Structure 1
Amino acid sequence: MADVVNPENEDLQSQIEEVEALSSIYGDEWCVVDEASRIFCIKISSNLEEPKLTACLQIILPPDYPSTAPPIYQINAAWLRGPERAKLANSLEDLYVENMGESILFLWVEKIREFLVEKSQTSESDQPEKVNITTEEKVDGDEDIPDFSTLRLNTENLHLFMENANDEEVPPIKHGNPITDRRSTFQPHLAPVVTPRQVKMVLEKLCENKKIASATHNIYAYRIYCEDKHSFLQDCEDDGETAAGGRLLHLLQILDVRNVMVVVSRWYGGILLGPDRFKHINNCARNILVEEGYTSSSDEATRSGGKTKRPKCKKTK
């Protein structure tokens, strides 16, 4: 009797071979975070003297990668925001679609490196320490530290980001009232979403607005309820405002909202706000959720005060 080929074993063998190759190619830049959980990261640089840009690619390899699912990833780079982040994410997704079923990590790493080189060459003065980062973020100083807590959330569903859903329309986007404090302005945006593809469409639509695209940070979080699995697909993004996305997702969890995403744009005014910035982000997010009828439980969110344990964020995709 012929041996029955187990696709899972084939995928695992492909992953082992790919990781061995990447470790050999990239040396100390390649890091095994948790081999049992198939979690890895790699530090990528433009390889240019001045200006030199770097990014950290964090990866989880699902059991059915590479045969039927893409790697789950996020890119940490304090200078990478808005349209540029979306552009890079789109290029990685295009590479996956073009090479579906094949090992993709080497192509992704080199595509990111190519992006860094292009960014360095076209913006000589755009060094990481000179981009639009607030002093508050510089004090935090942990933008490039790998954090995989949110990547662990419903990883079995994250392949839905790659599904071809060209027939989907951009969900209606609501814009809430801004909050201004010491020249910093925070404005929430809300959209109903039922698929990860719609999350991406909403972000792209918001970035078409030049004012929103120019925001210092566009922090977001979403929760989608998967009826068939009775579980949530949820994620968040700091966009450089360290820990803000996790706090925002924590708010959505406390309010038990579903099938919605909230984006909070912050325009930094040059004066440090300290912890008040997190209060404003959550307050304006809670306000728009109440205004749009997703919850009336504002008191519960207020009591949380951002003091309970929160999931940290990327951060994507």
Structure 2
Amino acid sequence: MNIEQAESNKQLQQNEVEALSSIYPHLNISTTSRSTELYSLWITPDNDTDTNYNDTTTESENEDSMLLFSFTYTSEYPSNQPPSDITVKSGWLLPEHGEHLVKQMLPLFIPGELVIFQMIVWLQENAVKCIEQYINHQSSIKHVNSSRRQRQQQRQVNTNTATVLKDESIIPSMPTQPTPTIYTGQPITDKKSKFQAHLAIVHSEEEVNLVLDKLLLNKKIADATHNMYAFRIKMPNGQINEYCDDDGEAGAGDKMLFTLIRNQCEEVLVVVTRWFGGVLLGGARYHHIINVTKEMIQLYQTKQLTSSNITVTL
């Protein structure tokens, strides 16, 4: 590339930055380790609502539902190459999801034409749908996680065993451990998707499994799109036993577990049931999962888990 072309590219890049800054006042410019200018912008994706391209948000707003779009320029842009170091990040995206979005945007580039604005608009309009398709949302709707299958299979084995014992008139008396009380909170509904949290006070993994099994005896809960959960139990030696399960809602279990940790819960299991309503929610679904989890934790910590103000399930 000759000097004249390089100067032309530089001027076009400056013009693009000026135009973007006028549309998106919060466009951030920083310097990378290579002394290259890195441009970053928080973008609110369109969740089936009208998108205003001039509507920008700042980092001070909730970033979980937004996308952080970043890029740098090279001397070859826009004459021969697209922008460089393009990344898309968010609290609701796995790294591979961001990489997938970038791959989907690259064909927008046409040599000789500026493309950043088109990429921003594409992300606003298509990011949520693109990622949901990528993770095969329809299979998620029908998904039954391995732990659920194992519990259901174990229940079937137990049922079959009991049937055989009954037929043979050999039914030994076996001690049964009572299932901890399960408290169910108020649901949150968003675009026909419903989120509802269940909480139980547990002191062992055995009690955790009893609660999970008991919940799944409820056909409505068992048929839900997701039943993600997290628990923290303080063991006799003082150590904390903690675990979470997404049940197909990638990252949800980690967020629930973090909420338990932040609230110093040490004898709590929280299960969040989601019934998908047919409309994609993007990052908003994580807000609802966290909010119903927080609500149950608050009731637990303020000793308001009573039948007078909350549903006692099963």
TM-score (norm 2): 0.44
Higher RCO (CA-CA < 8 Å; seq separation 6+): 1
TM-score (norm 1): 0.43
Decide which structure has the larger Cα Rg and report it: 2
